[in-house]
Amino acid sequence: MDGRVDLHLHTTASDGRLRPGEMVRLAARLGLKVIAITDHDSVEGITEALNAAREFPSLTVVPGVEMSTDVPRSEIHILGYFIEYQDREFNLMLESLRNSRVVRAQRMVQKLDGLGVHIEWSRVAELAGDASVGRPHVAQAMLEKGHVSSLKEAFDRYLGRNGPAYVEREKLTPTEVVQLISSVRGLPVLAHPGSLTDGLDSLLDELQKAGLVGMEVYYSDYTPDTVSHLAAVARKHGLLACGGSDYHAMDSAEETPPGGSHVPLAAAEALIAMARKRGRLTSDA
């Protein structure tokens, strides 16, 4: 049955608005069977999520992460599932990447100021709290000040890749991230490839050599045609077809809710089976 799986969820450990435990309870309330916590450059929410999941025996929580990578004129995101999230070297790398997010957000605030959009860095930092600061925190501060009417407008007008307040940050290459996730025994999956209009086949060939095992086929509000096309690409390359809503709980009027991307249960079962085959699971998930 579709709609019972969501392998792409964000919490307050990065730029979401629900605590990991709250996300787990929401997923259980919605009747989901398998979810993954995939915060940006952070695994800080995984322990809380796994602890909360003990209350819901029918819900499986997959430890994950989402990492941004740098390519010319664009960026590519890689998801990692069943990672060894307590690995020391891996956490040090994530900490370095999170620190680069702080510098980037500060420069964005400075750019916005030069555009006449005045927000306080202290408020952005307050919104992020102990989490990995991200553009949604900047957007939320802009919304509070009345500079935009929605978070979407903040990204469309200012914070998107081609926006006047956009700032690059320290990132690894896609191949480096796939190798990094593999080094902590994770399963690397290409996130939201529907935005990659050119060169997807060659990118997949390159990343598969580094250890890529899957790609998101079901994502947010992808149309049936997009899903069908990406499913064919995944089959062509022998990749697992994964997916999720990319839910942040930031703006419910515009977001796809958890489970709303209609990811087949079979997709999660295939991912779990691969994790078990590779020794990442020793009992039934």
Sheet holding 5-9, edge to edge: 5-9, 34-37, 60-71, 74-81, 187-190, 214-219, 240-244
pLDDT band at residue 279 under the 50/70/90 scheme: confident
**Distant-in-sequence, close-in-space partners of 23: CB < 8 Å, separation ≥ 6:** 9, 11, 16, 35, 37, 49, 249, 258
Residue 166 lies in a domain: no
- Specify burial of residue 43 (Cβ count, 10 A radius: 0-12, 13-18, 19+): buried
Instruction: Let me know whether 37 and 116 are in one domain.
Output: no
- Please give the Cα distance from 122 to 256 (Å, whole number): 30
Residue 168 lies in a domain: no
**Three-class secondary structure of residue 122 per DSSP:** helix
- Tens digit of pLDDT for each residue in 182-226? 999 999 999 999 888 778 999 999 999 999 999 999 999 899 999
Instruction: Let me know whether 268 and 191 are in one domain.
Output: yes
Residue 283 has pLDDT above 50, yes or no: no
Instruction: Let me know whether 206 and 76 are in one domain.
Output: yes
- Tens digit of pLDDT for each residue in 53-64? 999 999 999 999
Instruction: Let me know whether 31 and 143 are in one domain.
Output: no
Q: What is the DSSP string of 166-185?
A: ------B-HHHHHHHHHHTT
Residue 48's identity, in one-letter code, is: E
How many structural domains does the chain have?
2
Instruction: Let me know whether 67 and 141 are in one domain.
Output: no
Instruction: Let me know whether 43 and 143 are in one domain.
Output: no
Q: Considering only CA atoms, which of 27, 24, 29, 28 is closest in space to residue 13?
A: 24
The CATH number for 273's domain is 3.20.20.140
Residue 285 lies in a domain: no
Question: How far is the first Cα of the chain from the last one, in angstroms, to the nearest whole number?
Answer: 18
Mean pLDDT of the chain: 92
Query: How long, in residues, is the chain?
Result: 285
**Distant-in-sequence, close-in-space partners of 82: CB < 8 Å, separation ≥ 6:** 62, 63, 64, 185, 186, 187, 275, 280, 281
Element (H, E) at 71: strand 60-71
Domain containing 239 equals 5-85+173-277
Instruction: Let me know whether 188 and 220 are in one domain.
Output: yes
